[in-house]
Amino acid sequence: MSKGPANGRRVAPSGVVLLFGTERELVEGDNRGMAKTQAMNGLITVAEVLQAEDARYDAQMGDDFEALEQLLGKDLVYFHSSTVQDTKDSFIESLRSGKVVYNEMERSNTKVRVFGNVAIITGKAVFEVTVKRRDKALNLLFHSVWVKRDNGPQFVSWQATQLPE
């Protein structure tokens, strides 16, 4: 990343501009000068993030779309082990439509790293899912990223890799 002028701008090689504000806000923008601010709210704890992750698993398996609306950040980036990428809206729609059904979700070998108001969960997971009416057992390595915001922890990123059988 190259450092820009003394105004706190940094330009990533991809052309995305990150503008650093106070410790209570994250400002993101692009090279056209558009920016948005999202309020941050204090430190996140290991207990908070694991409770939020459990709530997300329960909401996904129980089709609790109201809970998902609260738990998922509007800036969610979700990479499935199949390489399909979802946003918050497309992820919820895939569940609502029945295209994807999470039947069982279990994680193990979990490690949580906390960086202020950001927590990263890594581990293994076994998911039993139905995708387009076909049952699948997924043995995964994953990372899950949570940010503590004014309305509580929000899920903002998922990356999963399927382990060989």
Render 4-64 in DSSP notation, one character per residue.
-STTTEEE-TTS-EEEE--TTEEEEE-TTS-EEEEEB-S---HHHHHHHHHHHHHHHHHT-
Largest CA distance in the chain: 54
Element (H, E) at 156: strand 152-162
Overall CATH class of domain 46-162: alpha beta
User: Whole-number mean pLDDT of the chain?
Assistant: 83
pLDDT in tens, 21-68: 333 444 444 444 443 444 556 899 999 999 999 999 999 999 999 999
Q: CATH 3.10.450.50: which residues of the chain?
A: 46-162
Low-confidence ranges of the chain (pLDDT < 50): 1-38
